[in-house]
């Protein structure tokens, strides 16, 4: 799950809030609204796989700065902006 430090890092950046909500829905499993807790919560297996591909092991702690960097990248990508171009 998201750590407190990660949540605080995102909460301190209101311009990223819409992007964070969009990411939550993008990672949510299909039909999430039909199952408790009725929130767009990503599947644990997906999160473990994403952490393993990012950090080399699935039990690593998700770094707050990495989540913020991902959300910033996602926001730039949605706006059609890329680095260096």
Task: Find where tokens 């959300």 sit.
Answer: 71
pLDDT in tens, 65-76: 999 999 999 999
Q: What's the pLDDT band for 83 if we cut at 50, 70, 90?
A: low
User: Considering the domain boundaries, does residue 83 fall inside one?
Assistant: no
* pLDDT for the residue numbered 79: 86
**What is the spatial distance between Cα 64 and Cα 2, in angstroms, rounded to a whole number?**
9
Is the confidence at residue 52, as pLDDT, over 80? yes
pLDDT in tens, 5-39: 999 999 999 999 999 999 999 999 999 999 988 99
Is the confidence at residue 41, as pLDDT, over 80? yes
* Residue 30 to residues 40, 44, 48, 55, 74, Cα–Cα distance (Å): 9, 14, 18, 26, 21
Q: How many domains does the structure of the chain reveal?
A: 1
User: Considering the domain boundaries, does residue 74 fall inside one?
Assistant: yes
Range of the domain at 26: 4-78
């Amino acid at each position: 799950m998201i750590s407190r430090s990660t949540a605080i890092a995102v909460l301190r950046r209101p311009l990223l809030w819409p992007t964070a909500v969009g990411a939550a829905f993008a990672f949510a499993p299909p039909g999430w609204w039909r199952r408790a807790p009725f929130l767009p919560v990503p599947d644990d297996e997906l999160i473990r796989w994403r952490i393993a591909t990012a950090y080399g092991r699935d039990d690593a702690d998700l770094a707050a700065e990495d989540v913020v960097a991902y959300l910033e990248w996602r926001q730039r990508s949605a706006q059609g902006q890329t680095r260096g171009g």
